């Protein structure tokens, strides 16, 4: 059973990518929807396997590391595989109806989408540093292609800027890999961790780790390296923005987090951890503020991603030099934050796309009076906003709760202020949108109603992020499988 699942996970997306390379948009849509279903079942099957039997290592095609590819399948990885399946499913389905079949270049959405999915799965499951690099590059190139799909000058400019940032980030990461490999002669994360723990001192490896984290921070758009993200996410087609914000930035963060959790304690330093945390805190506060100032709807959502990504980087200070119980709290909090943000942000971008379709403008003021028509999309937007604000019962709230607990227990009380202030600031920009929809000044009564499917998909995602809070316990139970055996 397991070999089939593993093969399905990586090869279905690749096969489908090739399959959808040539057909026209409509045929690609049919093929993709079939593939999405298959892929979703595979992901669910793998999740059940891991939930029952625990994590395992899987050598791809029977080849062992270092030359072969070894996959690490544990609770965290499989949770993200399922998350990817859910979000990609939603975005892919949405895109089929959202993108116009008449525009020729739109047919390239399908192969790019599938390559992206393959890259994401590769990153979640990758067990050695170099394969993670390949996965990252695959993701970056596909994302850039997807951004450029919008086709106009602005989109191309954003795509090029994104590409340059992503390439620089990957190279920094690769340089770090080179230094680490030069030091340890191993690429496997677990192998390096074992070597590091063997009490010798490795002076160069700390630099390697630092460069890798720097590169990954650039790819994750950590403040102040975030300049490329808002234009790219703001200008791309809505399903693309959703994919990028929900999943793509998480991939590079995931690698950074795994590196830090495995090597941070020995190779990192208190100053580095705090510095990353401060950058995250600044991202939370300034990102939210910038989101509040934007006049275009999707830019608001894009800057909100910058802010939400900031929370993730609180992982670094909260897991350095603290008791194991706090490390666990912080890990769980961050993982929940990743999941709830992925669901909420995907919902928000898809809903924003629908709202833009229905009022025919991308400006925030254009939403005046739209709430009178009770558009589903506005609701989805608001529900997703609840999760972003970290208000109960959403996943964002339980994540925030765990992080608050972790900051309190670690004695680093200053993050409490960041978490609470961040929540209030995100309320400011979410309610700005909401408020605009209540304005009754405009006489316009003509709103375009997007098709039902387009409205239902963001609603489902938003409800999932909202209800995540109630099922946090079981989700965390599966996710914590690797944590207990130490990675």
* Tokens standing for residue 407: 């900051």
Q: Do 155 and 236 form a contact (C-beta atoms < 8 A)?
A: yes
Classify the phi-psi angles of 223: left when phi > 0, otherwise alpha if psi is within -120 to 50, otherwise beta: beta
Query: Is 453 near another protein (CB under 8 A)?
Result: no
Q: How many residues bind another protein (CB under 8 A)?
A: 77
In the bound state with another protein, the residue whose beta carbon lies nearer, of 159 and 217, is 159
In the bound state with another protein, the residue whose beta carbon lies nearer, of 260 and 415, is 415
Query: Is 130 near another protein (CB under 8 A)?
Result: yes
Query: Is 200 near another protein (CB under 8 A)?
Result: no
Query: Is 423 near another protein (CB under 8 A)?
Result: yes
Query: Is 194 near another protein (CB under 8 A)?
Result: no
Q: Where do the H-state alpha helices sit in 360-411? A: 376-389, 395-410
In the bound state with another protein, the residue whose beta carbon lies nearer, of 182 and 451, is 182
Q: How far apart are the first and last CA of the chain?
A: 24
Query: Is 467 near another protein (CB under 8 A)?
Result: no
Minimum gap (Å) between residue 220 Cβ and another protein: 19
Residues 248-287 that bind another protein (CB under 8 A): none
Minimum gap (Å) between residue 40 Cβ and another protein: 27
Query: Is 175 near another protein (CB under 8 A)?
Result: yes
In the bound state with another protein, the residue whose beta carbon lies nearer, of 4 and 63, is 63
Among 45-53, 78-86, 149-157, 284-292, the segment contacting another protein (CB under 8 A): 149-157
User: Is 309 strand, coil or helix?
Assistant: helix
Q: How many residues does the chain have?
A: 487
User: Is 487 strand, coil or helix?
Assistant: coil
Classify the phi-psi angles of 89: left when phi > 0, otherwise alpha if psi is within -120 to 50, otherwise beta: alpha
Gap between the Cα atoms of 385 and 380, Å rounded: 8
Residue 228 main-chain phi, psi, to 5 deg: -80, -20
Cis peptide before 224 (omega within 30 of 0): yes
Residues 341-400 that bind another protein (CB under 8 A): 356, 361-362, 369, 371-372, 374, 379, 386, 391-393, 397-398
Gap between the Cα atoms of 361 and 297, Å rounded: 9
Query: Is 187 near another protein (CB under 8 A)?
Result: yes
Q: Where do the H-state alpha helices sit in 185-248? A: 189-197, 203-220, 229-235, 238-243
Query: Is 195 near another protein (CB under 8 A)?
Result: no
Among 22-30, 164-172, 192-200, 261-269, the segment contacting another protein (CB under 8 A): 164-172
Near another protein by CB under 8 A: residue from 181, 210, 289, 447? 181
Minimum gap (Å) between residue 151 Cβ and another protein: 9
Near another protein by CB under 8 A: residue from 69, 455, 472, 481? 472
Other Cβ atoms closer than 10 A to 269: 14
Residues 8-67 that bind another protein (CB under 8 A): 66-67
In the bound state with another protein, the residue whose beta carbon lies nearer, of 155 and 246, is 155
Gap between the Cα atoms of 86 and 102, Å rounded: 27
What contacts 350, CB < 8 A, 6 or more positions away? 90, 91, 94, 238, 239, 242, 380, 454, 457, 458, 461
Query: Is 217 near another protein (CB under 8 A)?
Result: no
Gap between the Cα atoms of 347 and 87, Å rounded: 9
Other Cβ atoms closer than 10 A to 21: 15
Query: Is 177 near another protein (CB under 8 A)?
Result: yes
In the bound state with another protein, the residue whose beta carbon lies nearer, of 36 and 427, is 427
Query: Is 164 near another protein (CB under 8 A)?
Result: yes
Query: Is 120 near another protein (CB under 8 A)?
Result: no
Query: Is 92 near another protein (CB under 8 A)?
Result: no
In the bound state with another protein, the residue whose beta carbon lies nearer, of 171 and 190, is 171
Gap between the Cα atoms of 381 and 188, Å rounded: 41
Near another protein by CB under 8 A: residue from 182, 323, 451, 486? 182
Query: Is 438 near another protein (CB under 8 A)?
Result: yes
In the bound state with another protein, the residue whose beta carbon lies nearer, of 121 and 398, is 398
Minimum gap (Å) between residue 247 Cβ and another protein: 20
Among 16-24, 266-274, 432-440, 450-458, the segment contacting another protein (CB under 8 A): 432-440
Gap between the Cα atoms of 315 and 82, Å rounded: 22
């Amino acid at each position: 059973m397991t070999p089939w699942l593993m093969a399905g996970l990586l090869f279905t997306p690749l096969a489908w990518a090739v399959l959808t390379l040539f057909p026209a948009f409509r045929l690609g849509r049919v093929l993709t929807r079939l593939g999405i279903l298959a892929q979703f079942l595979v992901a669910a099957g793998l999740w059940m396997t891991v939930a029952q039997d625990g994590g395992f290592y899987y050598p791809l095609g029977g080849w062992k590391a270092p030359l072969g590819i070894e996959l690490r399948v544990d609770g965290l990885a499989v949770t993200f595989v399922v998350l990817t399946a859910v979000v990609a499913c939603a975005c892919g389905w949405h895109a089929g109806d959202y993108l116009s079949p008449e525009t020729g270049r739109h047919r390239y959405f399908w192969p790019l989408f599938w390559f992206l999915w393959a890259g994401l799965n590769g990153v979640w499951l990758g067990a050695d540093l170099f394969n993670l690099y390949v996965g990252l590059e695959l993701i970056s190139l596909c994302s850039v292609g997807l951004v450029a799909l919008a086709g106009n000058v602005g989109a191309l400019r954003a795509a090029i800027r994104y590409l340059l940032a992503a390439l620089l980030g990957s190279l920094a990461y690769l340089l770090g890999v080179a230094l680490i490999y030069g030091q340890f002669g191993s690429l496997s994360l677990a192998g390096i961790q074992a070597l590091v723990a063997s009490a010798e001192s490795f002076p160069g490896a700390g630099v390697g780790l630092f460069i890798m984290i720097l590169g990954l921070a650039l790819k994750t758009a950590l403040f102040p390296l975030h300049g490329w993200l808002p234009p790219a996410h703001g200008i791309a087609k809505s399903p693309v923005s959703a994919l990028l914000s929900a999943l793509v930035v998480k991939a590079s963060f995931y690698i950074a987090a795994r590196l830090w959790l495995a090597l941070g304690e020995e190779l990192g330093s208190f100053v580095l951890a705090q510095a990353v945390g401060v950058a995250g805190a600044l991202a939370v506060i300034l990102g939210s503020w910038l989101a509040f100032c934007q006049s275009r709807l999707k830019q608001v959502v894009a800057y909100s991603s910058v802010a939400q990504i900031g929370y993730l980087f609180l992982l670094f200070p909260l897991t350095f030099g603290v008791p194991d119980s706090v490390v666990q709290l912080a890990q769980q909090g961050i993982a929940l934050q990743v999941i709830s943000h992925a669901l909420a942000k995907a919902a928000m971008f898809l809903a924003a796309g629908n709202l833009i379709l229905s009022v025919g403008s991308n400006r925030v003021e254009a939403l005046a009076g739209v709430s009178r028509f009770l558009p589903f999309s506005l609701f989805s937007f608001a529900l997703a906003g609840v999760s972003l604000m970290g208000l109960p019962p959403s996943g964002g709230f339980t994540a925030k709760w765990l992080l608050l607990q972790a900051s309190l227990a670690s004695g680093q009380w200053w993050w409490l202020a960041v978490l609470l202030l961040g929540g209030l600031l995100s309320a400011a920009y979410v309610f700005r949108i909401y408020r605009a929809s209540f304005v009754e000044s405009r006489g316009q009564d003509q709103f375009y109603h997007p098709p039902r499917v387009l409205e239902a998909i963001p609603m489902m995602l938003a409800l999932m992020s909202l209800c995540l809070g109630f099922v946090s316990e079981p989700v965390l139970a599966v996710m914590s499988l690797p944590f207990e055996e130490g990675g």
